[in-house]
A and B are shown apart, each in its own frame.
Chain A
């Protein structure tokens, strides 16, 4: 079955630590996205990538970094510069651009120790 796999499901970060969230898809989708979800707010775009080795900042990119070395993989690193990282993080993909249905992973919940 094709889909998007996010890992881990739960992640804890210590002060000053960088952590990396994994996102892998086997849908052969070109575009991938990272969103942050906070209670009472809509999904906010962190980064997106439309092709390998290229990505763009979204609305809230500060304190985050990404890479897109392979079509299937789009890992997100939450750096120590992100002062309020506690949130639910969702990875998504689409076949092409923004007018296509999005497929989502099951999310990673990040908390601060």
Chain B
């Protein structure tokens, strides 16, 4: 069983489009994380949130704790946004992180 599910698995967009990536989870959590993995393999933490909404530049992350759902939005997408976006959760049990399988985003000029 997978505690964290992401959709879509793959996404291709034209430059400038608004993009949404979804994440659903099945466990109680203390925090949810959005990560970005570039083709070279290194991973960067974009957001950690436990309620509401956070914004950083063109990226917006929202979470609905009651529905166990989070979304990552990218406004005015750009080819440099092409990467794998990974959703992860910190469960209330506090003994490890659970990771989704990632959404591979390609933004075409």
Contact = CB atoms under 8 A, between A and B. Distances in A.
B44 A101 contact: no
Contacts of A103: 45
A41 interface: yes
Interface string B1-39: 010100000000000000000000000001101010000
Given A42-B2, A42-B4, A45-B96, A98 B90 contact: yes
B93 to A, nearest CB: 9
Interface string A31-61: 0000000001111110010000000001100
Given A42-B100, A42-B101, A43-B99, A102 B94 contact: no
B100 A106 contact: no
Interface residues of B, number: 26
| Interface magnitude class on chain A | 20 to 34
Contacts of A88: 41
B97 A98 contact: yes
A106 B41 contact: yes
Contact of B86 (A42, A45, A92, A98): A42
A64 to B, nearest CB: 16
Provide the main secondary structure of the chain B interface: strand
B54 to A, nearest CB: 12
19 contacts: A40-B101, A42-B4, A42-B98, A43-B88, A43-B99, A59-B96, A88-B41, A98-B95, A98-B96, A99-B31, A100-B48, A101-B33, A102-B33, A102-B97, A103-B45, A104-B35, A104-B43, A106-B42, A107-B41
Interface of A: 40-45, 48, 58-59, 88, 90, 92, 97-107, 109
Interface of B: 2, 4, 30-31, 33, 35, 40-45, 48, 86, 88, 90-91, 94-102
Given A40-B101, A42-B100, A42-B101, 18 more contacts: A42-B2, A42-B4, A42-B102, A43-B86, A43-B88, A43-B97, A44-B99, A90-B41, A98-B90, A98-B94, A99-B94, A101-B33, A101-B45, A104-B35, A104-B42, A104-B43, A106-B41, A109-B41
